[in-house]
Amino acid sequence: MFIVDSTGLAIFFCVLTMLGWGSWANTQKLAGKDNWPFPLYYWDYAFGVFALSILMMVTFGMTGTSGMSSFVNLSQASSGPLVRAFLSGLVFNVSNILLVVAIDAAGMSVAFPVGVGLALVIGTVTSYVQSPRGSGGLLFAGVGLVVCAMLLSAVAYSRLPQKGNRSWFRGVIFAVIAGCLMGFFYPVLSGSISPGFGTGRILTGYLTPYTALPLFGAGLLISNLAVNTIFMRTGGLTYADYFRGTPKLHSLGFLGGVIWMLALSLNIIASGLAGPAVSYALGQGATLVAAVWGVFIWQEFKDAPRGTGKFVAAMFIAYTLGLSLIGMAAL
């Protein structure tokens, strides 16, 4: 199997994770321009996630002489790691959909900082306790700056004119639940993977990243049958509506899933050297990438009042400093 053997490459993979996690939602925005509802988009997203996980298993998981090939690893895996990898996909799927509901109810100004902020703190702390690697002081200082950046983002978004009637209390509840679940999916997933896989050593019963990822994808896809069906019915949508979608709309959702899953794959691979806590925290810098898309490409602040720019600028500075400290924690 392929493993990362240099810190520089591990950090580079984490940067690619940021770009992927911060950019995949652009495909949903493009689909939304054609009034393609998110629950219908999300089916193709789930298919893309699963397809990319299988591709990683039969390519990178079968490449090289280190560790253990994918199918050999599956044949010796214990039930515990198999179940944890599958459950991590289910947990992420529920949290991701709930976060979208929270954003719809309360807006980005509340839902995104609360949800992603909680996920960052919980995921980083839990991963570090599980596998303490890197400088804890630099790591948590960086996390603190990222949280400050999220708060600045909330202040900036709160200055935007409100559109429609949104229930902030309902949105906060959904965001808290989503953030808690999203924060735990990564430690659950990394807990199914052999702690020494970065050196090519696979403990008996544990998984390699390339066998854990398809189980994650399967958990996401299978849980979608229940979770996303509920949201479809709530929105008055049917499976017939899904099959009426154009090839362009279906390809956008599939591409979004492929981009997100490729980012997760690179992040997990990098964690073998950088450590799960550093790898995850750097990956969650995707919020900065998403902010760049929102500010400069989608122009989400074009209707903001004078003075909002200083909060946006401070947000970018805090994110940049925070991510720099997290990167230094791995050195």
What residue spans define the domains of the chain? 7-329
Are 245 and 36 in contact by the 8 Å Cβ rule? The answer is yes
Amino acid type, 169: F
What angle do helix axes 7-23 and 276-283 make, rounded to 10 degrees?
A: 40
pLDDT at position 79: 97
pLDDT at position 262: 98
Burial 236-273 (b: 16+ CB within 10 A, else e): ebeeeebeebeeebbebbbbbbbbbbbbbbbbbbbbbb
188: its two tokens: 């659950």
CA distances from 330 to 132, 146, 249, 289 (A): 11, 17, 40, 21
Are 216 and 189 in contact by the 8 Å Cβ rule? The answer is yes
Are 92 and 264 in contact by the 8 Å Cβ rule? The answer is no
Phi and psi at residue 2, to the nearest 5°: -80, 135
Alpha helices in 164-307 (DSSP H): 168-191, 209-234, 239-243, 247-274, 276-283, 286-292
What angle do helix axes 7-23 and 308-329 make, rounded to 10 degrees?
A: 150
* 3-state SS class at 200: coil
Query: 3, 2, 18, 5: which is closest to 326 by C-alpha?
Result: 18
pLDDT at position 64: 85
What angle do helix axes 108-130 and 136-158 make, rounded to 10 degrees?
A: 170
pLDDT at position 316: 87
Amino acid type, 18: M
Task: Give 10-residue mean pLDDT values along the chain (331 residues).
Answer: 92 92 87 90 96 98 92 96 98 90 66 75 87 88 86 79 64 85 93 93 96 98 94 93 97 96 97 89 78 78 86 88 84 70
